[in-house]
Structure 1
Amino acid sequence: MLDCIEIEPNGPATASVIWLHGLGADGNDFVPIVDELGLGADHGVRFVFPNAPVRPVTINNGMPMRAWYDIKGMAIADKQDAEGIRASADEIEQLIAREGERGIAPERIVLAGFSQGGAIALHAGLRHASPLAGLMALSTYLPLAETLPAEASEANRGVSILQAHGSQDPVVPMQLGEASRDHMLEAGYDVGWHEYPMQHQVCMPQIATIGRWLTERLPA
Protein backbone atom coordinates (compact mmCIF):
# COMPACT_ATOMS: atom_id res chain seq x y z
CA MET A 1 0.00 0.00 0.00
CA LEU A 2 1.15 3.55 -0.71
CA ASP A 3 2.77 5.43 2.13
CA CYS A 4 0.71 8.46 3.13
CA ILE A 5 0.84 11.64 5.16
CA GLU A 6 -2.32 11.89 7.26
CA ILE A 7 -3.91 14.78 9.13
CA GLU A 8 -6.46 13.68 11.70
CA PRO A 9 -9.36 15.87 12.91
CA ASN A 10 -9.62 17.08 16.49
CA GLY A 11 -12.19 14.39 17.29
CA PRO A 12 -13.05 11.02 15.77
CA ALA A 13 -12.80 10.85 11.98
CA THR A 14 -16.21 10.52 10.31
CA ALA A 15 -15.13 11.31 6.74
CA SER A 16 -11.99 11.24 4.59
CA VAL A 17 -10.44 13.21 1.75
CA ILE A 18 -7.85 11.26 -0.26
CA TRP A 19 -5.86 14.00 -2.04
CA LEU A 20 -3.35 13.11 -4.79
CA HIS A 21 -0.40 15.34 -5.67
CA GLY A 22 0.91 16.24 -9.11
CA LEU A 23 3.87 15.01 -11.14
CA GLY A 24 7.19 15.29 -9.31
CA ALA A 25 5.66 16.47 -6.04
CA ASP A 26 4.80 14.35 -3.00
CA GLY A 27 2.19 13.98 -0.29
CA ASN A 28 3.38 17.12 1.50
CA ASP A 29 2.32 19.35 -1.39
CA PHE A 30 -1.21 20.15 -0.24
CA VAL A 31 -0.83 19.67 3.51
CA PRO A 32 -0.62 23.45 4.16
CA ILE A 33 -3.96 24.02 2.46
CA VAL A 34 -5.93 22.06 5.08
CA ASP A 35 -5.80 24.92 7.58
CA GLU A 36 -6.89 27.39 4.87
CA LEU A 37 -10.12 25.57 3.95
CA GLY A 38 -12.22 27.15 6.68
CA LEU A 39 -13.73 23.87 7.85
CA GLY A 40 -15.41 23.95 11.25
CA ALA A 41 -13.50 22.82 14.33
CA ASP A 42 -15.73 19.73 14.52
CA HIS A 43 -15.49 18.79 10.83
CA GLY A 44 -14.35 15.21 11.52
CA VAL A 45 -12.45 14.93 8.23
CA ARG A 46 -9.27 12.88 7.93
CA PHE A 47 -6.99 14.10 5.13
CA VAL A 48 -4.92 11.39 3.44
CA PHE A 49 -2.08 12.54 1.17
CA PRO A 50 -0.49 9.49 -0.53
CA ASN A 51 2.93 9.52 -2.16
CA ALA A 52 2.97 8.34 -5.76
CA PRO A 53 5.51 5.65 -6.69
CA VAL A 54 8.86 6.75 -8.12
CA ARG A 55 9.09 5.86 -11.82
CA PRO A 56 10.92 7.06 -14.96
CA VAL A 57 9.00 9.77 -16.82
CA THR A 58 9.57 9.85 -20.57
CA ILE A 59 8.86 13.55 -21.07
CA ASN A 60 11.55 14.35 -18.49
CA ASN A 61 14.22 12.32 -20.30
CA GLY A 62 13.41 9.21 -18.30
CA MET A 63 14.30 10.83 -14.98
CA PRO A 64 12.79 8.91 -12.04
CA MET A 65 10.34 10.96 -9.98
CA ARG A 66 7.08 10.54 -8.15
CA ALA A 67 4.45 10.04 -10.81
CA TRP A 68 1.06 8.37 -10.98
CA TYR A 69 1.79 7.30 -14.57
CA ASP A 70 4.22 8.00 -17.40
CA ILE A 71 3.89 11.04 -19.67
CA LYS A 72 5.09 9.89 -23.08
CA GLY A 73 4.75 13.04 -25.20
CA MET A 74 4.43 16.82 -25.13
CA ALA A 75 0.64 16.55 -25.55
CA ILE A 76 -0.20 14.96 -22.20
CA ALA A 77 -3.47 13.41 -23.39
CA ASP A 78 -1.73 11.59 -26.27
CA LYS A 79 0.01 8.20 -26.02
CA GLN A 80 -1.60 7.67 -22.64
CA ASP A 81 0.01 5.24 -20.21
CA ALA A 82 -3.07 3.09 -19.69
CA GLU A 83 -1.18 0.49 -17.68
CA GLY A 84 0.22 3.09 -15.29
CA ILE A 85 -3.11 4.87 -14.93
CA ARG A 86 -4.91 1.63 -14.08
CA ALA A 87 -2.19 0.54 -11.65
CA SER A 88 -2.44 3.83 -9.76
CA ALA A 89 -6.23 3.58 -9.71
CA ASP A 90 -5.84 0.16 -8.09
CA GLU A 91 -3.63 1.75 -5.43
CA ILE A 92 -6.36 4.29 -4.70
CA GLU A 93 -8.90 1.49 -4.40
CA GLN A 94 -6.71 0.04 -1.65
CA LEU A 95 -6.74 3.37 0.19
CA ILE A 96 -10.54 3.57 -0.07
CA ALA A 97 -10.78 0.05 1.31
CA ARG A 98 -8.48 0.95 4.19
CA GLU A 99 -10.72 3.90 5.08
CA GLY A 100 -13.61 1.44 5.14
CA GLU A 101 -11.69 -0.74 7.58
CA ARG A 102 -11.28 2.37 9.75
CA GLY A 103 -15.02 2.99 9.77
CA ILE A 104 -15.41 5.48 6.90
CA ALA A 105 -18.05 4.48 4.35
CA PRO A 106 -17.47 5.33 0.65
CA GLU A 107 -20.27 7.91 0.70
CA ARG A 108 -18.17 9.85 3.25
CA ILE A 109 -15.02 9.80 1.08
CA VAL A 110 -13.92 12.48 -1.38
CA LEU A 111 -11.26 11.68 -3.97
CA ALA A 112 -9.27 14.78 -4.86
CA GLY A 113 -6.21 15.53 -6.92
CA PHE A 114 -4.12 18.13 -8.69
CA SER A 115 -2.83 17.67 -12.26
CA GLN A 116 -1.76 13.99 -12.60
CA GLY A 117 -3.36 13.31 -9.22
CA GLY A 118 -6.62 14.81 -10.41
CA ALA A 119 -6.57 12.62 -13.50
CA ILE A 120 -6.29 9.54 -11.27
CA ALA A 121 -9.03 10.83 -8.96
CA LEU A 122 -11.40 11.14 -11.92
CA HIS A 123 -10.41 7.82 -13.47
CA ALA A 124 -10.72 5.86 -10.22
CA GLY A 125 -13.74 7.71 -8.85
CA LEU A 126 -15.96 7.36 -11.90
CA ARG A 127 -15.26 3.62 -11.90
CA HIS A 128 -15.55 2.97 -8.16
CA ALA A 129 -18.21 0.38 -7.34
CA SER A 130 -19.80 2.27 -4.41
CA PRO A 131 -21.12 5.86 -4.30
CA LEU A 132 -18.54 8.41 -3.20
CA ALA A 133 -19.15 11.80 -1.57
CA GLY A 134 -17.46 13.69 -4.38
CA LEU A 135 -14.56 14.05 -6.81
CA MET A 136 -12.30 17.10 -6.91
CA ALA A 137 -10.25 17.63 -10.08
CA LEU A 138 -7.83 20.57 -10.02
CA SER A 139 -5.88 21.71 -13.10
CA THR A 140 -6.36 18.34 -14.75
CA TYR A 141 -8.17 16.31 -17.40
CA LEU A 142 -10.08 13.05 -17.83
CA PRO A 143 -7.68 10.26 -18.87
CA LEU A 144 -8.74 7.27 -20.97
CA ALA A 145 -12.02 9.04 -21.69
CA GLU A 146 -12.77 6.62 -24.53
CA THR A 147 -13.04 3.69 -22.10
CA LEU A 148 -15.36 5.43 -19.64
CA PRO A 149 -18.71 4.46 -21.26
CA ALA A 150 -17.92 0.75 -20.89
CA GLU A 151 -16.27 1.04 -17.47
CA ALA A 152 -18.27 3.69 -15.63
CA SER A 153 -19.84 2.65 -12.33
CA GLU A 154 -23.58 3.20 -12.10
CA ALA A 155 -23.08 3.89 -8.38
CA ASN A 156 -21.25 7.16 -9.20
CA ARG A 157 -23.40 8.43 -12.06
CA GLY A 158 -24.67 11.16 -9.72
CA VAL A 159 -21.41 11.95 -7.92
CA SER A 160 -20.67 15.65 -7.40
CA ILE A 161 -17.56 16.74 -9.35
CA LEU A 162 -15.71 19.96 -8.54
CA GLN A 163 -13.46 20.88 -11.47
CA ALA A 164 -11.18 23.93 -11.34
CA HIS A 165 -8.61 25.24 -13.81
CA GLY A 166 -6.35 28.21 -14.43
CA SER A 167 -7.05 30.17 -17.61
CA GLN A 168 -3.29 30.69 -18.12
CA ASP A 169 -2.19 27.10 -17.38
CA PRO A 170 0.85 26.25 -19.57
CA VAL A 171 1.14 22.64 -18.32
CA VAL A 172 -2.41 21.30 -18.66
CA PRO A 173 -4.07 23.71 -21.09
CA MET A 174 -7.48 24.89 -19.95
CA GLN A 175 -8.90 23.74 -23.30
CA LEU A 176 -8.09 20.17 -22.26
CA GLY A 177 -9.86 20.70 -18.94
CA GLU A 178 -12.86 22.16 -20.75
CA ALA A 179 -12.98 19.23 -23.16
CA SER A 180 -12.95 16.84 -20.20
CA ARG A 181 -15.72 18.83 -18.54
CA ASP A 182 -17.82 18.71 -21.69
CA HIS A 183 -17.22 14.97 -22.06
CA MET A 184 -18.46 14.36 -18.52
CA LEU A 185 -21.43 16.71 -18.90
CA GLU A 186 -22.48 14.97 -22.11
CA ALA A 187 -22.31 11.66 -20.22
CA GLY A 188 -24.71 13.08 -17.63
CA TYR A 189 -22.30 13.80 -14.76
CA ASP A 190 -22.79 16.63 -12.27
CA VAL A 191 -19.78 18.87 -12.93
CA GLY A 192 -19.26 22.23 -11.25
CA TRP A 193 -16.71 24.16 -13.35
CA HIS A 194 -14.57 26.97 -11.88
CA GLU A 195 -11.85 28.88 -13.70
CA TYR A 196 -9.36 31.35 -12.28
CA PRO A 197 -6.85 33.82 -13.79
CA MET A 198 -3.81 31.74 -12.80
CA GLN A 199 -1.30 29.26 -14.17
CA HIS A 200 -0.71 25.64 -13.02
CA GLN A 201 -1.36 26.28 -9.34
CA VAL A 202 -4.04 26.98 -6.75
CA CYS A 203 -5.16 30.37 -5.47
CA MET A 204 -6.94 31.65 -2.37
CA PRO A 205 -10.37 32.17 -4.04
CA GLN A 206 -10.14 28.57 -5.29
CA ILE A 207 -9.23 27.30 -1.81
CA ALA A 208 -12.30 29.08 -0.43
CA THR A 209 -14.47 27.38 -3.06
CA ILE A 210 -12.97 24.01 -2.17
CA GLY A 211 -13.68 24.59 1.52
CA ARG A 212 -17.33 25.41 0.89
CA TRP A 213 -17.74 22.41 -1.40
CA LEU A 214 -16.14 20.03 1.10
CA THR A 215 -18.41 21.38 3.84
CA GLU A 216 -21.42 20.60 1.65
CA ARG A 217 -20.20 17.16 0.61
CA LEU A 218 -18.97 16.08 4.06
CA PRO A 219 -21.21 17.76 6.63
CA ALA A 220 -20.14 17.25 10.24
Structure 2
Amino acid sequence: MLPFVEYAAKGEHTASIIWLHGLGDSGEGFLPIAQELKLPDDLGVRFIFPHAPEQAVTINGGMVMRAWYDIKSLDLDNRADESGVKASAKAVEALIQAELDKGIAGERIILAGFSQGGVIALHLAPRLAFKVGGVMALSTYMCAPQKLVDEAVQPDLNIFMAHGSHDPVVSMSAGQLARDTLQHQGYQVSWQDYPMEHQVCYEELVAIREWLMATLS
Protein backbone atom coordinates (compact mmCIF):
# COMPACT_ATOMS: atom_id res chain seq x y z
CA MET A 1 0.00 0.00 0.00
CA LEU A 2 1.28 3.46 -0.88
CA PRO A 3 2.14 5.59 2.16
CA PHE A 4 -0.02 8.68 2.56
CA VAL A 5 -1.05 11.57 4.74
CA GLU A 6 -4.71 12.26 5.36
CA TYR A 7 -7.22 14.87 6.41
CA ALA A 8 -9.89 13.07 8.38
CA ALA A 9 -13.59 13.46 7.71
CA LYS A 10 -15.52 15.76 9.99
CA GLY A 11 -18.31 13.62 11.35
CA GLU A 12 -19.23 10.32 9.71
CA HIS A 13 -16.89 9.28 6.90
CA THR A 14 -19.04 8.77 3.81
CA ALA A 15 -16.84 10.01 0.95
CA SER A 16 -13.16 9.91 0.01
CA ILE A 17 -10.95 12.06 -2.19
CA ILE A 18 -7.65 10.48 -3.23
CA TRP A 19 -5.40 13.32 -4.44
CA LEU A 20 -2.15 12.57 -6.31
CA HIS A 21 0.70 15.08 -6.32
CA GLY A 22 3.03 16.08 -9.13
CA LEU A 23 6.66 15.26 -9.93
CA GLY A 24 9.08 15.83 -7.06
CA ASP A 25 6.35 16.70 -4.59
CA SER A 26 4.77 14.56 -1.86
CA GLY A 27 1.38 14.07 -0.29
CA GLU A 28 2.09 16.94 2.09
CA GLY A 29 2.20 19.35 -0.85
CA PHE A 30 -1.57 19.35 -1.32
CA LEU A 31 -2.59 18.57 2.26
CA PRO A 32 -3.43 22.25 3.09
CA ILE A 33 -6.00 22.33 0.29
CA ALA A 34 -8.27 19.97 2.23
CA GLN A 35 -8.89 22.68 4.79
CA GLU A 36 -8.86 25.55 2.29
CA LEU A 37 -11.75 24.01 0.34
CA LYS A 38 -14.01 24.37 3.40
CA LEU A 39 -16.31 21.52 2.43
CA PRO A 40 -19.34 21.11 4.71
CA ASP A 41 -18.83 18.66 7.57
CA ASP A 42 -21.96 16.76 6.59
CA LEU A 43 -20.37 15.71 3.29
CA GLY A 44 -18.21 13.38 5.38
CA VAL A 45 -15.15 13.72 3.15
CA ARG A 46 -11.84 12.10 4.01
CA PHE A 47 -8.85 13.32 1.98
CA ILE A 48 -6.03 10.88 1.21
CA PHE A 49 -2.75 12.26 -0.17
CA PRO A 50 -0.44 9.38 -1.16
CA HIS A 51 3.31 9.71 -1.70
CA ALA A 52 4.67 8.53 -5.05
CA PRO A 53 7.62 6.11 -4.91
CA GLU A 54 11.12 7.52 -5.20
CA GLN A 55 12.83 6.80 -8.51
CA ALA A 56 15.38 8.21 -10.93
CA VAL A 57 13.89 10.66 -13.43
CA THR A 58 15.70 10.72 -16.76
CA ILE A 59 14.98 14.32 -17.81
CA ASN A 60 16.26 15.54 -14.44
CA GLY A 61 19.65 13.98 -14.97
CA GLY A 62 18.69 10.74 -13.27
CA MET A 63 18.01 12.52 -9.97
CA VAL A 64 16.02 10.41 -7.53
CA MET A 65 12.74 12.00 -6.47
CA ARG A 66 9.12 11.14 -5.88
CA ALA A 67 7.57 10.36 -9.25
CA TRP A 68 4.60 8.36 -10.47
CA TYR A 69 6.60 7.39 -13.57
CA ASP A 70 9.83 8.24 -15.37
CA ILE A 71 9.96 11.03 -17.94
CA LYS A 72 12.48 10.28 -20.65
CA SER A 73 11.48 12.98 -23.13
CA LEU A 74 9.50 16.22 -23.16
CA ASP A 75 7.91 15.14 -26.44
CA LEU A 76 4.24 14.63 -25.56
CA ASP A 77 3.89 11.31 -27.36
CA ASN A 78 6.78 9.80 -25.37
CA ARG A 79 6.65 11.86 -22.19
CA ALA A 80 4.91 9.41 -19.88
CA ASP A 81 6.58 6.03 -19.37
CA GLU A 82 3.56 3.80 -19.95
CA SER A 83 4.84 0.89 -17.86
CA GLY A 84 5.43 3.25 -14.94
CA VAL A 85 1.98 4.79 -15.38
CA LYS A 86 0.40 1.33 -15.26
CA ALA A 87 2.35 0.36 -12.13
CA SER A 88 1.33 3.53 -10.29
CA ALA A 89 -2.27 3.17 -11.45
CA LYS A 90 -2.34 -0.32 -9.93
CA ALA A 91 -0.96 1.02 -6.64
CA VAL A 92 -3.58 3.78 -6.56
CA GLU A 93 -6.31 1.25 -7.35
CA ALA A 94 -5.31 -0.54 -4.13
CA LEU A 95 -5.99 2.69 -2.21
CA ILE A 96 -9.42 2.92 -3.84
CA GLN A 97 -10.13 -0.70 -2.96
CA ALA A 98 -9.22 0.01 0.66
CA GLU A 99 -11.89 2.72 0.73
CA LEU A 100 -14.43 0.36 -0.82
CA ASP A 101 -13.54 -2.21 1.84
CA LYS A 102 -14.38 0.40 4.48
CA GLY A 103 -17.87 0.63 3.02
CA ILE A 104 -17.42 3.81 0.97
CA ALA A 105 -19.45 3.55 -2.24
CA GLY A 106 -17.55 3.93 -5.50
CA GLU A 107 -19.81 6.85 -6.43
CA ARG A 108 -18.55 8.64 -3.30
CA ILE A 109 -14.88 8.32 -4.23
CA ILE A 110 -13.14 11.11 -6.17
CA LEU A 111 -9.79 10.48 -7.86
CA ALA A 112 -7.83 13.73 -8.20
CA GLY A 113 -4.38 14.52 -9.51
CA PHE A 114 -2.08 17.41 -10.40
CA SER A 115 0.36 17.13 -13.34
CA GLN A 116 1.87 13.61 -13.11
CA GLY A 117 -0.83 12.73 -10.60
CA GLY A 118 -3.48 13.79 -13.10
CA VAL A 119 -1.96 11.49 -15.72
CA ILE A 120 -2.47 8.57 -13.33
CA ALA A 121 -6.05 9.64 -12.53
CA LEU A 122 -7.00 9.97 -16.20
CA HIS A 123 -5.38 6.64 -17.04
CA LEU A 124 -6.91 4.67 -14.17
CA ALA A 125 -10.51 5.83 -13.88
CA PRO A 126 -11.73 4.84 -17.37
CA ARG A 127 -10.13 1.40 -16.95
CA LEU A 128 -11.57 0.54 -13.52
CA ALA A 129 -14.05 -2.32 -13.26
CA PHE A 130 -16.27 -0.07 -11.15
CA LYS A 131 -17.30 3.56 -11.47
CA VAL A 132 -15.93 6.30 -9.23
CA GLY A 133 -17.86 9.46 -8.44
CA GLY A 134 -15.59 11.69 -10.45
CA VAL A 135 -12.10 12.52 -11.69
CA MET A 136 -10.32 15.82 -11.10
CA ALA A 137 -7.36 16.34 -13.46
CA LEU A 138 -5.35 19.54 -12.94
CA SER A 139 -2.60 20.94 -15.20
CA THR A 140 -2.10 17.55 -16.78
CA TYR A 141 -2.16 15.45 -19.95
CA MET A 142 -2.93 11.88 -21.00
CA CYS A 143 -0.68 8.87 -21.40
CA ALA A 144 -1.26 7.00 -24.68
CA PRO A 145 -4.52 8.75 -25.58
CA GLN A 146 -4.81 6.66 -28.73
CA LYS A 147 -5.33 3.54 -26.58
CA LEU A 148 -8.30 4.89 -24.63
CA VAL A 149 -10.90 3.80 -27.15
CA ASP A 150 -9.79 0.16 -26.88
CA GLU A 151 -8.98 0.03 -23.17
CA ALA A 152 -11.75 2.08 -21.51
CA VAL A 153 -14.40 -0.02 -19.79
CA GLN A 154 -16.30 2.75 -17.99
CA PRO A 155 -19.00 4.19 -20.28
CA ASP A 156 -19.65 7.24 -18.11
CA LEU A 157 -17.35 9.46 -16.05
CA ASN A 158 -17.76 12.89 -14.49
CA ILE A 159 -14.47 14.72 -15.12
CA PHE A 160 -13.25 18.13 -13.97
CA MET A 161 -10.21 19.56 -15.77
CA ALA A 162 -8.35 22.83 -15.22
CA HIS A 163 -5.18 24.24 -16.75
CA GLY A 164 -3.06 27.36 -16.80
CA SER A 165 -2.91 29.15 -20.14
CA HIS A 166 0.71 30.19 -19.39
CA ASP A 167 1.86 26.77 -18.16
CA PRO A 168 5.54 26.29 -19.18
CA VAL A 169 5.73 22.73 -17.83
CA VAL A 170 2.65 21.07 -19.36
CA SER A 171 1.31 23.14 -22.22
CA MET A 172 -2.40 23.87 -22.18
CA SER A 173 -2.63 22.30 -25.63
CA ALA A 174 -1.63 18.98 -24.04
CA GLY A 175 -4.46 19.34 -21.55
CA GLN A 176 -6.88 20.27 -24.33
CA LEU A 177 -5.85 17.17 -26.28
CA ALA A 178 -6.68 15.04 -23.23
CA ARG A 179 -10.01 16.83 -22.88
CA ASP A 180 -10.87 16.29 -26.54
CA THR A 181 -9.91 12.61 -26.33
CA LEU A 182 -12.16 12.11 -23.32
CA GLN A 183 -15.06 13.96 -24.90
CA HIS A 184 -14.69 11.92 -28.09
CA GLN A 185 -15.00 8.83 -25.88
CA GLY A 186 -18.32 10.26 -24.65
CA TYR A 187 -17.23 11.43 -21.22
CA GLN A 188 -18.66 14.52 -19.55
CA VAL A 189 -15.77 16.97 -19.09
CA SER A 190 -15.98 20.29 -17.27
CA TRP A 191 -13.07 22.37 -18.57
CA GLN A 192 -11.72 25.65 -17.25
CA ASP A 193 -8.49 27.54 -17.82
CA TYR A 194 -6.87 30.41 -15.98
CA PRO A 195 -4.11 32.95 -16.77
CA MET A 196 -1.56 31.14 -14.60
CA GLU A 197 1.48 28.89 -14.90
CA HIS A 198 1.93 25.32 -13.51
CA GLN A 199 0.00 25.86 -10.30
CA VAL A 200 -3.42 26.05 -8.67
CA CYS A 201 -5.03 29.47 -8.22
CA TYR A 202 -7.76 30.79 -5.95
CA GLU A 203 -10.38 30.94 -8.71
CA GLU A 204 -9.61 27.31 -9.52
CA LEU A 205 -10.11 26.31 -5.89
CA VAL A 206 -13.53 27.98 -5.96
CA ALA A 207 -14.45 25.99 -9.07
CA ILE A 208 -13.13 22.77 -7.51
CA ARG A 209 -15.23 23.33 -4.41
CA GLU A 210 -18.36 23.93 -6.47
CA TRP A 211 -17.75 20.80 -8.54
CA LEU A 212 -17.10 18.67 -5.46
CA MET A 213 -20.24 19.99 -3.78
CA ALA A 214 -22.33 19.19 -6.86
CA THR A 215 -20.74 15.76 -7.27
CA LEU A 216 -20.93 14.60 -3.66
CA SER A 217 -24.14 16.29 -2.45
Equivalent position amino acid for 1:152 in 2: A
1:75 positional shift: 2.2
| Structure 1 Cα separation of the partners of residues 82 and 156 of structure 2 | 25
Matched, 1:8 2:8: yes
Equivalent position amino acid for 1:132 in 2: V
| Structure 2 Cα separation of the partners of residues 25 and 106 of structure 1 | 27
> What is the SS of the residue equivalent to 2:71?
coil
Matched ranges for 1:68-217 at <5 A? 68-78=68-78, 80-154=80-154, 157-217=155-215
Cα distance change on mapping 1:98 and 1:148 into 2, 3 Å = same
Runs of 4+ with deviation above 3 angstroms: none
The number of residues matched between the two structures is 217
Matched ranges for 1:9-28 at <5 A? 9-28=9-28
Matched, 1:32 2:29: no
| Structure 2 Cα separation of the partners of residues 56 and 76 of structure 1 | 19
1:78 positional shift: 1.7
Equivalent position amino acid for 2:62 in 1: G
Deviations 1:146-201 (A, max 9, x none): 221111013xx221100000000000000111111111111111011000000000
**Which consecutive unaligned segments of at least 5 residues does structure 1 have?**
none
> What is the SS of the residue equivalent to 2:75?
coil
Equivalent position amino acid for 1:209 in 2: A
| Structure 1 Cα separation of the partners of residues 116 and 131 of structure 2 | 23
1:38–1:208 Cα contact (<8 Å) kept: no
| Structure 2 Cα separation of the partners of residues 126 and 177 of structure 1 | 17
> What is the SS of the residue equivalent to 2:113?
strand
Cα distance change on mapping 1:10 and 1:121 into 2, 3 Å = same
> What is the SS of the residue equivalent to 1:42?
helix
1:214 positional shift: 0.7
1:76–1:172 Cα contact (<8 Å) kept: no
| Structure 1 Cα separation of the partners of residues 27 and 5 of structure 2 | 6
> What is the SS of the residue equivalent to 1:192?
strand
| Structure 2 Cα separation of the partners of residues 19 and 80 of structure 1 | 19
Equivalent position amino acid for 1:115 in 2: S
2:16–2:45 Cα contact (<8 Å) kept: yes
| Structure 2 Cα separation of the partners of residues 61 and 144 of structure 1 | 24
| Structure 2 Cα separation of the partners of residues 140 and 114 of structure 1 | 6
Deviations 1:57-109 (A, max 9, x none): 00001111000000001224425311100000000110011001111121110
Equivalent position amino acid for 2:166 in 1: Q
Indicate the larger mover: 210-219 or 190-199: 210-219
Equivalent position amino acid for 1:126 in 2: P
Return the TM-score normalized by structure 2: 0.97
